Structure 1
Amino acid sequence: MRAVQITAYGGPEVVVINDVPRPEIGAGQLRVSVAATGVNPVDWKIREGHMAFLEVPFPFTLGNEFAGTVTELGEGVTGFAVGDAIYGSVGPIGVFAEELVVDAGAVAKAPTSLSLVEAAALPVAIVTVQAAFDAAPVGQGTRLLVHAAAGGVGSVAVQLAKAMGAEVTALTSPASMDLVRGLGADHVIDRTTDYEQTIGDFDVVLDAFGPSAQDRSWGLLKPGGILISLVTPPDQEEAARRGVRATMTFGAPNAPALAHAAALVDAGKLKPVVQRTYPVEEAVAAMAEVEGGNVRGKIVLRY
């Protein structure tokens, strides 16, 4: 079967499509025929060696979110059947392949109202946002600011927060403002303006952008509020000086969050944003588009 792998750390030249053995299935696992996989910034960061602490021998397969169809059940698996459409995020690597073996407890049935290509755009964002909202519960009346609201994670954060009853202010580029309005944000702000002069007093700031966004966010939090970063550790000394809290969170496999999100999708309260799809043969081009930093929503590989 085909898998998108890297032969060393480096640029696009290290990406290859190899023929690899089918994985063996074990107890508690599902064999999956993959229909599509989402492409994320972490994929090119791993390729470049920014997560070399993983200590995986070369060549290894990239990718960490997928949607596909169950083709075999491992011993002891319940709740799934051959033919089920499922989706999930199962770790930082290993997913860019035509066939997977995954732990049944890490995945969920895919939304019935989406194609598998659309469903593949959601898992990483869902588990990432859930981890953030676990750190700072978001609910009715929570005043939330979302940086990079048109991105793969930001676009899901806006929708999940609205489903929880939050008042959402979204920061995005001028070209993406209409898109973000369509996701249900209460207030959409051009991030290229001096927005610090007009907004503030937030309970939670969600940073999916980076240090420059954090620098502009400290004064926007109310006393005791919290800045949650998804991309770089925030300055704890600055947080203490401002009388606020700060943390960094990471997504992890989370079947209950995926199942809840699937129900929201089928209820019309959550939708993926897919900018473009590529056949797996064009994985290098897909990763390059993500690395360029101008993706609205998600890039998806088709198998």
Structure 2
Amino acid sequence: MDDPRYTLIQISDPHIEDPGTRQRYGTDTAEALELALRRLEESTVRPDAVLFTGDLTEDGTPAQYRRFRSVVEPVAARLAVPFAYAMGNHDDRAAMRGVLLGDGSGSTDPVFQVVRVHGLRIVVLDSSVPGRAYGELSPDQLDRLRAELAEPAPDGTVVVLHHPPLPAVLPVAAAIPLRDRAGLGAVLAGSDARIVLAGHTHMTSAGALAGVPVWTPGALASTADALPPAGVGSRLVAAPTVARIDLFADSVIATAVPLDRGLIADFDGEATARTVARLRAELPAEPVGG
């Protein structure tokens, strides 16, 4: 069995609120974030990085970022891998810089980050537009991305942003798109970009831009129902997910991981190993050159 060269965990749209507030999403969103990180630590997966694709907070206040940090920081210290944060339309650049990124400049310029994990490059873009729900990438960001991608990374590049550069299937999502996704596609075309990771729509979705896979994992806070019943304009349900992204030498796999689920059965390691051995024994040999 091929082993992935890199495994990334993607968490999107936690929308952390103040404790004891109205709970717009029907639950304390900090508890959903705690569950996601607990599931990660309890698993056998040891990621190379953890990526947050925007809307870290509901209102972008320093207090909400501090609450977010209080949940995330101990886990980041224990895992000892990079944690990267993309700006969403609910986020605030100055507050996120000050509380999460250790930059007290108060700058409201777009947040552009490059994280390197061995031979893998992760570029985090800022598609937020202050005070608006739609997204766009400034010419300066596209120029910086183009310059960064001019020199390929040994194991390729993962591009991270909040607004997915894809069409939308629901009217609400269609009203808050990433504007000029073709501009991003022109920069990515022919580059070493292996996948684009986004959030924003609160739906697990996959597509492609300029031949590069695009993936959104759903959200922690709520999930948009892509098949709402007749007479219902839109519907949000509680079905929190995160994602694991596995990058192999010649392929990439994005997998949605449901968090709020009923357990059907657990199988111990020995039983699982026997099943895997039996199934692998039934596989025909790979053709020469296959």
Indicate the structure with greater helix content.
1
Q: Give TM-score scaled by structure 1 length.
A: 0.23
Q: Of Structure 1 and Structure 2, which has the larger fraction of its residues in strand?
A: 1
Please give the TM-score of this superposition, normalised by the length of structure 2.
0.23
